[in-house]
Structure 1
Amino acid sequence: MAVRLGALAMILGATATAAATAAAAPVAAAAAGPASATPSPYAFSDGAQSVEGARSTGNAPLLKPGGTYKSSLPSSGKVSYRLDLDAVSNAYVSVTAVPSPDSTVSVIDGVKVTVQDAEGNTCSVDNTSFGTARSPHPIAAWGMRQISPGKALCQKAGAHYVTVERIDPDGEGSSPDAWDLELVATTEPRTAKTGQTSAPEVWNSATPQPLQGETERRKGGAGFTGATPIDQGVWQDDIRPGQTLFYAVPVDWGQQISVTAELGSTDSGSTGYTPDALDLTLYNPARGDVADVGVGYDGDQKAGSLPPLPPVDHANRYAATAQVSALRFAGSYYLVAHLSKGVAAPYGDGPFPMTLRVRVSGQPQTGPEYAGESEPKGVFEVSDQDREAAAEGVAAGDDTAMRALAVGGIGTGSALLVGLGVWTVLARRGTAA
């Protein structure tokens, strides 16, 4: 009996150790972050639904507000998707294009997004290109159907069509590879009361001074859905050539965001210059492009700042400039940093130290009273949970680590219960003998 119990104890100990190791592995992997010299270009949303874009609007698949979809874009031609909209809600669709890291792109190549109604009227057109660095990386463009008293077109309920295409598929240096796409559709309800119908004319447009203070390390995410929450502060991270990092900053009504990006020096001893080596882009909560800055690199420390931006205001949507118009709602604004793969040739694979100086000025104000809910819910507001997540650096509702520990705990507990059951059986048999 003693031999049997000793063997059982060894089995239980090994089982418990294995279960604990299995439980800890996902948590350790999540904390470790990417270690490969060839980073993954983009992390798609876990819940993204696969959908195939149609060559004709007559066969366009439906995108539901609040949904996230994964699709692909051929090197030539257009693909279309459908939105079924009412006559009172504003609707937005963001398209993130993800070329292969091994592909090549021209200076003006990129993605173009057009929204039209069922009668063929154009509601919006937006495009985003890769720029002078010619470094393939995730880029996003957005389209919209805006309900406005000053507009005559695209105001009716019914089918609307989102068309996506390459800007320069045949340009010099552009490879004919298909690109992956992530599409997100969002709706914004009308306001309960008629508010201001012109953009604010007066705001503090002075260039803000970069925020000073002690740096804190915060590892960026690999996609919009997994963007790392940050708030006002001086944040440091490591970035490799060809890598793109995502951060989410809660910006409430009436608040102004300003950002300076710095790329640290290298002691490689190499020389050379990469234009727009570090690209920093600010996107709004609907993943619409707000502003960007490119920082050239020659091996010495370099810095660049986003242009001065107005406070977030519902009436900004009536501005003539797209930059101001994009600051039309509160919520999580995304900072997306990309380091050109061209940096690797003269200076190696890195990683290179990157510092983000983020300032969010102004007290939060009361926003407009909406006559309904957005889809997805809460996307155009800043909650207490959002602020806590930004302070802690963990996305609100992100319980991946806890679930991993729970699964591990259940596994260990189950093993122990099974072992105790076996021990009981053996003990009874021993007594009977």
Structure 2
Amino acid sequence: MVRHDGHDEGKRVSTQAGATAGERTGRRRRTAAGPRKAAALLTAAAAVGTLTALPARAAEGPDLPPYAFDASAQRIAGAASSGNAVELEPGRTYRDTLKKDGKVYYRLNLGTDRNSYVSVVAVPKPGGKAAYGDGFQVSIQDGSGTECGSQDVNFAVGDHVRPLTAYARRIVDPDESSCQEAGPYYVLVERESDAESAQDDWELEIQHLTEPLLTGKGPDKLPEAWPSKMPALPVGDAKDRQGGDGFARAVSVERGEWRARIRPGQTLFWRVPVDWGQQVFASAELGSSAAGDDSVSYALALGIDNPARGFVDLRTGSYNGKPATVALAPLRPVAHENRSTYETATNGMRFAGWYYLTATLSPEVAEEYGDGALPLTLRVDVTGTKKSAPGYAGDAGAFQVTAQDEKAAANGSPGTEADGGGTAMVALAAGGLGLGTVLLVGLGAWTFLARRPTGGR
């Protein structure tokens, strides 16, 4: 797969693909029920929230778990013209649908005090076929149509689909002349599909994040020398840490060896906190199978995306029934100066926070080895001394590592739980019925019924 970054800090960016990844870079009814039924009402209200949250998961394929969308995401519709585009607010996540060869616009109202990042996760229907160039591009443009930043992604490796993610950014830089004014900007998402590819719609998960500027001029010179050697990754004392089914449910990990199981056509998601000055290394080992010995090209793909869900790198490997390992190439330590280069893998390591690891097993593996789950071992290492943030003029938000993040990584919490929302909270929020509303409804019913005279019941 090849991905392109465009106009980073106002300049056009060209991507260099990695060696092995060169193939891809509500109204209530009144009731005379007593407190016991009021309690039931509370339970039912919670159930309504849970049930309405169910559509937050993608259409399920033949035996594969669906992609787990962010349960708080708001459903919107992208416009055919920028003049009708709906606004994407900072800190919010959205859902939309993109048709074959579709092209949709969204609006941003931006100031001059923060950088903006808009990511798009495209989720095709599982099991679909893809051609080499199938993919999409996301870009941010100003009111005159000038492109501020873009990134494109395609499947490339193999001929199967999987979730794809890319981001675009608008960077505030006084040294640049374009994309620096406050006002309306537009996000454009364009899908490109081969005539022989699957014709189904793609579900989109869209996120808008902002980053504060620096109080002064930040470091902008990339060191020539850096720890570029792959260390020996942790082995022994492996623990179960099954990956999640989407970015919002990515399972937290820290340094160590983690066991999981993966089925052909499935993508698993993990996340690891990486602070300023630290490097992240990872490998994925697919266990052996006695079902055959035929080789499957591009069988296992291991990718990494940054805290803004921007693509960083991807590596692939073949499988012939014997143990097979795919490792990420060494990446530079997280640093502000990484954004001074046009090389995608380095440019993506531009801020601290949760970095996402994804493992995808090709559906072609099922043809040779059956559709049962195979053992997968994820090995992760985070090295280097933590450094101070580069002097943000405000709260760094998602672009930092907190003590809560480190605790979540140690406990293996899924994303929504680790970020302060349990399963019930997420379900209620997704159903449009907040937990506070449910509690008030339930407690109000309980109080009203408890105060009613007992006669005539």
**Pairwise TM-score range, normalised by the shorter structure:** 0.7 to 0.9
Q: Alpha-carbon deviation of 1:213?
A: 2.4
- The equivalent residue for 2:310 is 288
Is residue 163 from structure 1 mapped to residue 163 from structure 2 by the alignment? no
3-state SS of 2:180 partner: coil
Is residue 133 from structure 1 mapped to residue 152 from structure 2 by the alignment? no
Are the equivalent residues in 1 in contact too, given 2:252–2:412 (CA < 8 A)?
A: yes
Deviation digits for residues 175-200 of structure 1, max 9, x if unmatched? 22211100000100101122212323
Aligned counterparts of 2:229 and 2:412: Cα–Cα separation in 1: 30
Structure 1 portions without partners, runs of 5+: 1-11, 27-34, 426-433
Deviation digits for residues 96-142 of structure 1, max 9, x if unmatched? 00000142211221121121111111111211111222221111011
3-state SS of 1:317 partner: helix
Are the equivalent residues in 2 in contact too, given 1:245–1:337 (CA < 8 A)?
A: yes
Please, which moves more after superposition, 191-200 or 289-298? 191-200
Is residue 145 from structure 1 mapped to residue 164 from structure 2 by the alignment? no
Is residue 107 from structure 1 mapped to residue 132 from structure 2 by the alignment? yes
Are the equivalent residues in 2 in contact too, given 1:278–1:337 (CA < 8 A)?
A: yes
Q: Alpha-carbon deviation of 1:275?
A: 1.6
Aligned counterparts of 1:37 and 1:71: Cα–Cα separation in 2: 23
93, 96, 102: which one aligns with 1:71 = 96
Q: Alpha-carbon deviation of 1:398?
A: 4.1
Is residue 216 from structure 1 mapped to residue 216 from structure 2 by the alignment? no
Deviation digits for residues 22-54 of structure 1, max 9, x if unmatched? 99xx9xxxxxxxx99722331111110001111
409, 419, 424: which one aligns with 1:390 = 409
357, 360, 376: which one aligns with 1:335 = 357
Aligned counterparts of 1:84 and 1:127: Cα–Cα separation in 2: 23
How is 1:284-323 mapped onto 2 (pairs within 5 angstroms)? 284-323=306-345
Is residue 249 from structure 1 mapped to residue 272 from structure 2 by the alignment? yes
* Structure with the greater alpha carbon radius of gyration: 1
Aligned counterparts of 1:393 and 1:402: Cα–Cα separation in 2: 19
Q: Alpha-carbon deviation of 1:402?
A: 9.7
Q: 1:231 to 1:384 in 2, by over 3 A?
A: same
Amino acid at match of 1:132: V
Amino acid at match of 2:378: L
Aligned counterparts of 1:274 and 1:185: Cα–Cα separation in 2: 38
351, 373, 380: which one aligns with 1:351 = 373
3-state SS of 2:248 partner: coil
Identity among equivalent pairs (%) = 44
Q: 1:131 to 1:36 in 2, by over 3 A?
A: closer
Give the TM-score taking structure 2 as reference length: 0.78
Aligned counterparts of 1:380 and 1:253: Cα–Cα separation in 2: 10
How many residue pairs are counted as aligned between the two chains? Answer: 381
Aligned counterparts of 1:197 and 1:132: Cα–Cα separation in 2: 34
Are the equivalent residues in 2 in contact too, given 1:37–1:240 (CA < 8 A)?
A: no
Aligned counterparts of 1:398 and 1:264: Cα–Cα separation in 2: 34
Deviation digits for residues 290-327 of structure 1, max 9, x if unmatched? 11111211111100111110100111111221211111
3-state SS of 2:249 partner: coil
Deviation digits for residues 57-82 of structure 1, max 9, x if unmatched? 11111101100000011102311111
Are the equivalent residues in 2 in contact too, given 1:111–1:140 (CA < 8 A)?
A: no
Q: Alpha-carbon deviation of 1:370?
A: 1.2
Q: Alpha-carbon deviation of 1:253?
A: 0.5
3-state SS of 1:164 partner: strand
228, 235, 239: which one aligns with 2:262 = 239
3-state SS of 1:225 partner: helix
Aligned counterparts of 1:115 and 1:130: Cα–Cα separation in 2: 22
Aligned counterparts of 1:160 and 1:36: Cα–Cα separation in 2: 37
Are the equivalent residues in 2 in contact too, given 1:92–1:286 (CA < 8 A)?
A: yes
Are the equivalent residues in 1 in contact too, given 2:338–2:346 (CA < 8 A)?
A: yes
- The equivalent residue for 2:229 is 206
274, 277, 289: which one aligns with 2:299 = 277
Aligned counterparts of 1:45 and 1:333: Cα–Cα separation in 2: 17
- The equivalent residue for 2:16 is none
Are the equivalent residues in 1 in contact too, given 2:279–2:332 (CA < 8 A)?
A: yes
Aligned counterparts of 1:294 and 1:345: Cα–Cα separation in 2: 19
Are the equivalent residues in 1 in contact too, given 2:233–2:379 (CA < 8 A)?
A: yes
Give the TM-score taking structure 1 as reference length: 0.82
Aligned counterparts of 2:378 and 2:357: Cα–Cα separation in 1: 9
Q: 1:59 to 1:133 in 2, by over 3 A?
A: same
Aligned counterparts of 2:249 and 2:391: Cα–Cα separation in 1: 29
281, 284, 290: which one aligns with 1:258 = 281
Amino acid at match of 1:360: V
Aligned counterparts of 1:402 and 1:187: Cα–Cα separation in 2: 25
Aligned counterparts of 2:116 and 2:424: Cα–Cα separation in 1: 34
3-state SS of 2:247 partner: coil
3-state SS of 2:213 partner: coil
Amino acid at match of 2:164: I
How is 1:74-93 mapped onto 2 (pairs within 5 angstroms)? 74-93=99-118
- The equivalent residue for 2:201 is 178
Amino acid at match of 1:123: C
- The equivalent residue for 2:388 is 366
Q: 1:231 to 1:163 in 2, by over 3 A?
A: same
Q: Alpha-carbon deviation of 1:344?
A: 0.7
Aligned counterparts of 1:52 and 1:304: Cα–Cα separation in 2: 38
- The equivalent residue for 1:30 is none
